[in-house]
Structure 1
Amino acid sequence: MTEDLKDIKNHFPILNQFVNDRPLVYLDNAATTQKPISVIQAEEKYYKTINSNVHRGIHTLSQLATVEMEESRKCVQQFLNAKKNYEIIFTKGTTDSINLVASGIEPLIKEGDEIIISNLEHHSNIVPWQFLAERKNLKLNVIPVDDNGELIMDEYDRLLSNKTKIVAVNHISNALGVVNPIEDIIIKAHKVGAYVLIDGAQAVSHRKVDVQALNADFYVFSAHKLYGPTGVGVLYGKEEILESMKPYQGGGEMIKEVTFEKTTYADLPFKFEAGTPNIAGNIVLKNAIDFVHTIGFKSIVRHEDDIMKYAKENLSQIDNIIIYAQNAQHTSGAISFNLNFENIHSSDVGFILDKQGIAVRTGHHCAQPIMKRFGIKGTIRASFAIYTTKEDIDQLVKGIYLAQKMLK
């Protein structure tokens, strides 16, 4: 590991344990990252010292909790380089953020319009658009991928038209680790007047994101994939688009005035934050971001690129292994593979690895269309984080060799 990350595992209490009598090797970071002690302590501190509902009380605890949560919103704004803090909406997660946009943008869409997604999408960036397409009688188009798992951009160009109103793609594929050319996707979509939503769930822990430089209309992610808590998500949206969208949910907090005859809505961001939020989670997201900033993305990228290269080199030496997207131009965060033996399921390998204390993800990774594209039911996915070491990769390789011997 690089000098600035050599002791990083000491910040993550869960990593210093044994699973099935073996030291834990945690390689399931695309599903969720582990939490540093600073995040764990911050959540405990909130409940011990200022637990109270926000935005509604004049008493001291409520005021303190409100200040802390709004400071966290400003931290997220700076993290993404959003223009305004009220362009940051707190949600339950990436899935909730996408559903919010797919629901709220409905008044801006008319029958006969078209949506473009890609063959690489997580189900959460497919199903909400299918719902919208069914409600409004829209056409849903899909950018195909080549044998490297990369988007076929000539086909994207062909699909784009003045009927295209929404383009929704991920920044990095959760299933294959392929980094998509979102800058090009956004520029081309805007030329035909389409809105663009970028699913950044797999990107924000691996690279610096600047939504103004990208010129994305929406960018979404989950805190738990950025060393933060579960149940917290972020939706960034451009102010003028958010203002034109309808509220996703009705209830408390999102209103300005309610009568039985008519309800008027609160200003941004509260228009989209109905009900009591995950206050503790929203607050400690700031601590997770602060932790990432103490390391810095230059160090993170350098370390994770080194880990990715090491993993590819060592996994590719294993006989009868199939590595998906191995020749893709840009990958980050994850490697998907299978053992090329008849009647062996990815979960069989995952079970054996677990007995060695190695945590990987197996199955279709909530991305069944891309599995169908490659003619498989699922893969074994090893996914990395700032605390992943070359020793972790060595243990993974040893575990795969053992699985081969047991499953042949």
Structure 2
Amino acid sequence: DPFSVSFELAPSQFGEAGQDLFRIGIKGKQVPPEERKPANLVFLIDASGSMAATNKLPLIQWSLRQLVKRLEPTDRLGIVVYAGDVRFEMQPTEVNDKSEILDQINRLQARGGTNGAAGIQTAYAMAESAFRANGVNRVVLCTDGDFNVGLTGDALISEIEEYRDKGVTLSVLGFGTSANDAFMEQLADHGNGNYALIDNQNEATRVLGEDLVSTLQVIAKDVKIQVEFNQDTVQRYRLIGYENRVLNNSDFTNDSVDSGDLGAGHFVTSFYELERDLSLSQGRMATVRLRYKEPEGDVSTELTFDFDLSAAANSFDEASSDFRFAAGVVEFAEILRGSKHSQGQRFDDILQIVSATQGEDNLRKEFFGLVVQGSQLSH
């Protein structure tokens, strides 16, 4: 199988007394960099006046320079810039010509408004002209969220889906503090790509460096998950987050319904908050079904897993450190978005959990710093 699946159940540290958290984790198999498919990437770069700040266009330039170092000589990179107008900055060029690529990157300047009349069509046409039949073909939109790529609403979504079905996907990278975060994520979802917010060089290194293979190499497409709780065991449950990715039950077995792709080494984590019969210590609590297609396939494979209560942790502290840290992240997000389920919860409780589970991981330490800031702002 292209991925592994893990489950964990433990009493919740948050919410009402007697509630549990059920974690489902999916991890894509690793693919060595030398086995990654050749890439045809076209960067659609917002160079409007709002992008002049150091954490916007200058950070895009820095990020692209790091990307060039990571790409293979046979990969191709093209650049389309939009501001007051749209222009080809560079036709798809093989990365073995690094001097030409770096020269074009260094020339980028923020100017004018955001009237990118045909921005996204231009980028897609460029990607299609250099299409690699057995490779990764992707447009990467880089913007601060204050953008106009020439199409809006349903017309923009239709364009993205049309090219997705042709084999050209869309990723979106937000730079700076974006006011259009949800919309950019929605575009990437429809384009079967990735969305990331980049606000510093460390994050740029992670997204375009360390996670590059995961970002580019799809190991399973149209991945769907269906969770069926045993009604004799679970009285109530709710999925935390993922509101924009929920499918109808009938869509699960419908292979014509598009869903997300999974990259090499990519982690997907979901949490359910639930209430169950605490007098039961064994027996099936949930059945989890996964469907996916091979990257070049059209027929789904379905896997089925059962979770038994005998595998549950007796307390939150007995759960794995990964589970406890992830639970802290989830609750932090719940507080920030003003969820009714987080009322009465405190940043200090999250700080205590994250402090005990961050270890030497730099990303976890960075998250700890964010919770500290949130705590300070709330007082």
User: Where on the TM-score scale, by shorter chain, does this alignment land: which range?
Assistant: 0.3 to 0.5
Question: As a proportion of its length, which structure holds more helix?
Answer: 1
Tell which has more relative contact order, 1 or 2 (C-alpha 8 A, sep 6+).
1
Question: As a proportion of its length, which structure holds more strand?
Answer: 2
